[in-house]
Chains A and B, each alone.
Chain A
Amino acid sequence: MARFDLAVVGAGPAGLSAAVTAAENGLTVALVDAGTQPGGQFWRHPDEHHPRPDEGRGQHLWSRFTDLRTRLRALESGAATAGRVELVVGHQVWFVETLAEGFMLHLSATHGETRLPQVRAASLVLCPGGYDRQLPVPGWELPGVMAAGGVQALLKAHRSVAGRRAVVAGTGPFLLPVAAGLAQAGADVVAICEAGSLSGWARSPLGAAGVPSKALEAVEYAALLARHRIPYRMRTVITAIRGESEVGSVGLGRLDRNGRLRTDVSLPDLDVDLVAFGWGFTPSLELVTAVGASTRVDVDESLIADVDDWQRTDVPGAYVAGEATGVGGALLAVAEGELAALAASRDAGRPVSEARARSLQRQIARGRRFAATMHRAHPVPAGWQDWLEPDTTVCRCEETTLGEICAATKELGATDARTVKLLARPGMGWCQGRVCGFAAAKLAIPVGEALTASDLAPLAKRTFAAPVSLETLATTPTESDSATSHDNDA
């Protein structure tokens, strides 16, 4: 079994930055990622075993990635620093054990193999990232409806275009690169449906002005949308998705300034074969809750890790960086990852540059202000339940309908998300509520109320952070300090 000074979970912007920084400070680091290569969701790119000249197509901040990758490779196998980082790809952490000193990560392969390796480390930086937040819509379970991030992943990593005639819908700035990516790949993007309006940004110019690169990005996207003639429709939502075996068309609705569906406006349907949905992001919190770290609710009603100004949680030796401390984008994640690594090095008694740490803390504070502005400008619209029908699927795994959830709250008296889950089963399936968790939690409380940590924390807690077969479990060493990992492929 391998022992390290530091384990970093997630090799996206935050995790890469944390691992490289810590190893350059002299720590031995294990960097674990579910993907086949570093990059995370943000820098997802084609398989490096089959190099492409256009590797960085559709990417942002790509030179930041290639710089981190070069440094990572030197720390893996460079002449002077080889062996400082051990990169463990293709593995998820399904369980974190807190030891008397340090942590034991229990890993499982994302596919195929049934071995369960373990990684032991004195301290831990969690950079689990997140995924698109979703809201149910009638018909959203039809093939051809995808998370915007999934559409983007197909483009960035596989050069696959998920449809020929697309609508990109939801809220937030992430809709823009997805629409632009589809158009550049040859799809006909018939509209971006943005539930919010850009007036939200005007209310807080200070937050936006703090991060000038974001303004440049916006200008860049505006030019791309114009070039591809993609209409950007504000206060517009998809209210229904129609089709037999896959998406054929979508119905649209217009929202008023309070985010409620206007009944006096009727809009023509759009014929499409692809719907890409994104309502902001949900951070992955299962490992944060697994180590017992405190959580809180962010401006966007996401459950996040509560960290101090050194990215420390209230569990000694456990740090969190990136989206799990609040959705804020890649630049912020890179800064947080670096700071978390400096904190871990410093707390382990190694000298670090205090000036660099202070500079990162200032950068992070600016990034957080920008993120708060973004979240306030792109809320989930107040009226998102207005267009649901009793037979609308809420939980895709268990196929729980809105009607069944309403029966649990109205007839059976459930007043919290956990009870609704027990009675009607939303969130009990394969994904363990990752997709429907936000919506199911909102449906359990009165309309218009904000979610609290006590609504969200029980849903984020997953005893197994990734599915593990019983066969595999049965062959797992039970003593946490037993000698080696097992292989049951006998």
Chain B
Amino acid sequence: MTDQVNLTFDGVTITAAAGQSVGAALTDAGIRSWRSTRRGDRPRGLFCGIGVCFDCLVTVDGRPNQRACLVPVRDGMRLESGGLREVSARG
């Protein structure tokens, strides 16, 4: 009924329904945290779920600090966990 898309999280392939958010895809794959905090090195994932809290930041196709709850999945998308990242200079 719904189209499936494949994406990778830290190199591991996960499947999602087209139209889902990255946060929903990770949730359905049983993944609940994908970054650690700067100060306490504590795990974080979805909290507000609607783009307000920025807890769910994730690197999407090399672009850091994207809100997983807002970014829609796309076939072939690469997700990477990590901490808060500096935005690297363009090059």
Contact = CB atoms under 8 A, between A and B. Distances in A.
A434 B39 contact: no
Contacts of B19: 46-47, 49-50, 158
Given A47-B18, A111-B60, A150 B50 contact: yes
Interface stretch (A76-84, A140-148, A356-364, A367-375): A140-148
Contact of B49 (A149, A396, A398, A430): A149
Contact of A144 (B21, B32, B42, B67): B32
A147 B32 contact: no
Nearest to B54: A430
Interface in A444-471: 467, 469, 471
Interface of B: 1-3, 17-21, 23-24, 27-28, 32-33, 37-40, 42-55, 57, 60, 63, 66-67, 69-72, 87, 90
B68 to A, nearest CB: 10
A153 interface: yes
Interface string A194-235: 000000000000000000000000000000000000000000
Most chain A beta carbons < 10 A, residue from B28, B48, B55: B48
A153 B72 contact: no
In order of increasing CB-CB distance, the 9 nearest A-B pairs are: A150-B49, A47-B19, A158-B24, A430-B54, A50-B19, A160-B24, A143-B33, A143-B32, A399-B39
Most chain A beta carbons < 10 A, residue from B18, B39, B70: B70
Interface residues of A, number: 46
Nearest to A130: B52
A159 B17 contact: yes
Given A110-B67, A399-B37, A399-B39, A131 B2 contact: no
A41 interface: yes
Interface of A: 34, 36, 41, 46-47, 49-50, 52-53, 110-112, 131-132, 141-147, 149-151, 153-154, 157-162, 245-246, 396-399, 429-431, 434-435, 467, 469, 471
A469 B24 CA distance: 26
B1 A150 contact: no
Given A160-B24, A399-B39, A150 B69 contact: yes
Contact of A47 (B23, B55, B72): B72
A245 B28 CA distance: 18
B59 to A, nearest CB: 12
A47 to B, nearest CB: 3
A52 B19 CA distance: 11
Contacts of A397: 53-54
Contact of B52 (A52, A399, A434, A471): A434
Contacts of A429: 54
A50 B20 CA distance: 10
B48 A149 contact: yes
15 contacts: A49-B18, A50-B17, A53-B1, A111-B71, A145-B47, A147-B48, A153-B50, A154-B27, A157-B21, A161-B27, A398-B39, A399-B42, A429-B54, A430-B54, A467-B54
A158 B21 contact: yes
A49 B50 CA distance: 20
Given A52-B1, A111-B70, A151 B60 contact: no
A153 B52 CA distance: 13
B47 A396 contact: yes
